[in-house]
Amino acid sequence: MKVAGPTAYPAKVPIMITFNVTGFLTDFTGGLHQISIDGSLERVGEALAELWKLHPGLRDRVLNEQGQLRQHVNVFVNDENIRRKELLNTPLEAGSEITILPSVSGG
């Protein structure tokens, strides 16, 4: 009889994610429109947490007090709005681009 050993889980593989920051949100990134981050990132929320470490003032403009995406901000992974996916749990792949786009309003 063969006894199964401990289950081996694959290690997280470092990937590069590029953030595209638009509109007034660049006021909180030192004027940067594009920011690249390397790390063992599997979900949008993890990638955003790394972005907040570099640009902490950006967080409160993108997420509300409960840590949820603000109503008037859209986040896209490549061309897909995360509101139509798994929100902050949307999976990432190597080379993914995350675009943070504030809604434009006016009269």
Quick: pLDDT tens for 27-77. 999 999 999 999 999 999 999 999 999 999 999 999 999 999 999 999 999
**CA 23: distance to chain centroid?**
17
The domain spans of the chain are 15-102
Q: What is the CATH number of domain 15-102?
A: 3.10.20.30
Torsion angles phi and psi, residue 37, rounded to 5: -135, 135
Q: Is 53 exposed, middle or buried (0-12, 13-18, 19+ CB in 10 A)?
A: exposed
Separation CA 4–CA 64 (nearest Å): 45
Separation CA 18–CA 50 (nearest Å): 12
Candidate from 8-12, 52-56, 71-75, 85-89 with smallest mean pLDDT: 8-12
Q: What is the pTM of this model?
A: 0.85
Separation CA 47–CA 11 (nearest Å): 17
